[in-house]
Amino acid sequence: MINAIIMASGLSKRMGENKLLLNFKGIPMIEYAFIEISKCCFNEVIVVSQYEGILNLSKKYKFKSVYNKNAYIGQSESIKLGILNSSKCDGYMFFVGDQPFIESLYINKIIDKFNEDKNYIIIPKYGNKKGNPVIFPYNKKDELLKLKDDEKGKKVVNKSSKINYIDVSENMLIDIDNKVDYEKFRGV
């Protein structure tokens, strides 16, 4: 059993506005992740955000919504809130909301790889590029809860010897960080 945690509390400093709610081909950008995640078999899906619009949208998909009042601290807060509001599971699959080309096909491949040995961190990659979503096994829970400020899961990855990679499509790893990315990819 894997719980999905969608981290959607970012300040979008490089974009200058909340990029996750920007119109991307007719729907809010984050909704692409919601659609693809809803096609997969998760024990539960938790959306962590400081934005009422995102939390309300998550209810449409019957996802558990968790308000992040300390988003200014950094990504560690979303990670912790996701875990602390999570039911018992074998692993946590962390998603970001700015990947509008994410595909359930590859999400399921990552899950299948994790199910082969639930002690490994599973990271998607295309060529030399690695990205999200990443699955952390339950045995990494305490390390993840010790993250501070804007520390990311990468800190836990860097200390682990048990990592498996799964090949995904190039598009799967595209994230929208700024206005140039947004303009470039919304026309694709």
- pLDDT digit string (tens) for 20-50? 888 888 899 999 999 999 999 999 999 999 9
Task: Give the model's pLDDT for residue 186.
Answer: 75
Both structure tokens of 110: 């990552």
Other CB atoms within a 10 A radius of the CB of residue 1 amount to 14
Average pLDDT of the residues in 96-109? 94
Tell me the pLDDT band of 12, cut-offs 50, 70 and 90. Answer: low
pTM beyond cutoff 0.75: yes
What would the pLDDT profile of 69-93 be if each residue is shown by its tens digit? 998 888 899 999 999 999 999 999 9
Say if residue 134's pLDDT is above 70.
yes
Tell me the pLDDT band of 120, cut-offs 50, 70 and 90. Answer: very high
For residue 170, what are the CA distances in angstroms to 11, 75, 129, 175? 26, 24, 9, 11
Task: Give the model's pLDDT for residue 17.
Answer: 65
Average pLDDT of the residues in 63-74? 92
Inter-residue contact 42 to 26 (CB < 8 Å): no
Q: How far apart are CA 76 and CA 45, in angstroms?
A: 18
Task: Give the model's pLDDT for residue 110.
Answer: 97
What percentage of the chain carries pLDDT values higher than 70? 95
- The label of the residue with tokens 């010790």 reads 146
Short-list 19, 5, 71, CA closest to 183: 19
The class that CATH gives domain 2-185 is: alpha beta
Q: How far apart are CA 53 and CA 56, in angstroms?
A: 5
Number of residues written out for the chain = 188
Task: Give the model's pLDDT for residue 24.
Answer: 86
Average pLDDT of the residues in 108-132? 96
Which has more pLDDT, 18 or 129? 129
Average pLDDT of the residues in 56-61? 95
